[in-house]
């Protein structure tokens, strides 16, 4: 892929009161190289901190959703529906792309191999973050791999980094992110696998991202996600 390619991309960012992050992530998106045309769609669920001014300042498309109607899957699906790109990238409001080749890194596996239905990158934890669960997950999921580590083709159901992932629009239209309370990215990837597609983990496509929270809250969130993953595995098995 190069700047002269006709690849189109929709980057969907969901946010609420994350102005300080948007002030860094939107310029980082504008600096991406290697993709000829892409649009940024920001889905906001009631910001009051001036985040909307930042979105308008950077020329991103703004889509608003009522706070009471918010859900991660619902917000991403809404943002994707307001875009036109061949590929759809999910970027959390508190995730900041690292480097100018982040976007291209997520797209190349799908552009070069039609059997790849989704890609996801890695995260670098913010300096000083102390949350031990986040540090454990860095090693568990391979997010601590170096930027130059090679992409890995994956054909089994596993945890994906939903704050930093991409898929093809035609597949999203067939399998929108399911409107569930947790791990809708995991469920989406499961459907792709069930339909014969594979995924690619791209360690070099990195974002600055991580949650600073108490150990009890971090463990509770992790356990809830694990519970929902088990439920999804059961549902996928029953659908065979």
- DSSP codes of every residue in 20-61: HHHHHHHHHHHT--S-SEEEEEEEES---SSHHHHHHHTTPE
Domain count, the chain: 1
Place of tokens 């069930």: 194
Q: What does the pLDDT read at residue 161?
A: 94
Q: Kindly state whether residue 2 falls inside one of the protein's structural domains.
A: no
Instruction: List Cβ neighbours of 26 (8 Å cut-off, separation of 6 or more).
Output: 40, 54, 55, 58, 60
Q: Kindly state whether residue 3 falls inside one of the protein's structural domains.
A: no
Q: Kindly state whether residue 185 falls inside one of the protein's structural domains.
A: yes
What is the distance between the alpha carbons of residues 206 and 234, in angstroms, rounded to a whole number?
31
The angle at the Cα of 147, spanning 141 to 148, to the nearest 5 degrees, equals: 115
Q: What does the pLDDT read at residue 61?
A: 95
Q: Kindly state whether residue 115 falls inside one of the protein's structural domains.
A: yes
Helix (H, G, I), strand (E, B) or coil at 176: coil
CATH number for the domain including 159? Answer: 3.90.550.10
Q: Kindly state whether residue 188 falls inside one of the protein's structural domains.
A: yes
Q: Max Cα separation, the chain?
A: 50
Q: What does the pLDDT read at residue 34?
A: 86
Residues belonging to the chain: 240
Phi, psi of 23 (to 5 degrees): -65, -20
Q: What does the pLDDT read at residue 153?
A: 97
Q: What does the pLDDT read at residue 1?
A: 41
Helix (H, G, I), strand (E, B) or coil at 3: coil
What is the distance between the alpha carbons of residues 155 and 197, in angstroms, rounded to a whole number?
8
Query: Within 10 A of 57 (CB to CB), how many other CB atoms are there?
Result: 11
Q: What does the pLDDT read at residue 222?
A: 86
**Structural domain that includes position 169:** 8-238
Q: Kindly state whether residue 1 falls inside one of the protein's structural domains.
A: no
Q: What does the pLDDT read at residue 6?
A: 60
Q: Kindly state whether residue 60 falls inside one of the protein's structural domains.
A: yes
| Helical pair 215-238 and 132-140, crossing angle rounded to 10 deg | 40
Taking only the tens place, the pLDDT of each residue in 30-51 is: 999 988 788 999 999 999 999 9
Q: What does the pLDDT read at residue 37?
A: 85
Q: Kindly state whether residue 88 falls inside one of the protein's structural domains.
A: yes
Sign of the CA dihedral 75, 233, 224, 21? negative
Residue from 98, 95, 57, 64 nearest 82 by CA:
64
What is the distance between the alpha carbons of residues 82 and 136, in angstroms, rounded to a whole number?
36
Residue from 190, 173, 165 nearest 77 by CA:
173
Q: What does the pLDDT read at residue 236?
A: 85
Q: What is the pTM of this model?
A: 0.92
Query: Within 10 A of 187 (CB to CB), how many other CB atoms are there?
Result: 22
Ranges of residues in the chain with a pLDDT under 50 are 1-4
């Amino acid at each position: 892929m190069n700047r002269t390619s006709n690849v189109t991309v929709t980057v969907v960012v969901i946010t609420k009161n994350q102005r300080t992050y948007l002030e860094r992530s939107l310029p980082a998106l504008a600096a991406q190289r290697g993709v000829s045309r892409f649009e940024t769609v920001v889905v906001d669920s009631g910001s009051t901190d001036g985040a909307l001014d930042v979105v308008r300042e950077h020329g991103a498309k703004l889509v608003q959703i009522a706070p009471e109607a918010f859900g991660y899957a619902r917000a991403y699906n809404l943002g994707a529906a307001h875009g036109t790109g061949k590929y759809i990238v999910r970027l959390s409001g508190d995730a900041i792309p690292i480097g100018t080749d982040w976007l291209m890194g997520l797209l190349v596996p799908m552009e070069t191999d039609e059997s790849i239905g989704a890609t996801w990158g890695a995260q670098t934890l913010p300096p000083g973050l102390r949350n031990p669960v986040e540090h454990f997950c860095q090693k568990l999921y391979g997010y601590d791999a170096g930027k130059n580590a090679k992409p890995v083709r994956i054909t089994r159901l596993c945890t994906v980094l939903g704050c930093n992932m991409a898929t093809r629009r035609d597949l999203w239209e067939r399998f929108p992110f399911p409107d569930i309370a947790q791990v809708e990215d995991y469920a989406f990837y499961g459907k792709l696998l069930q339909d014969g597609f594979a995924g690619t983990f791209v360690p070099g496509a990195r974002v600055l991202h991580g949650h600073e929270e108490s150990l009890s809250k971090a463990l509770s969130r992790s356990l809830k996600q694990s519970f929902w993953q088990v439920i999804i595995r059961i549902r996928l098995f029953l659908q065979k």
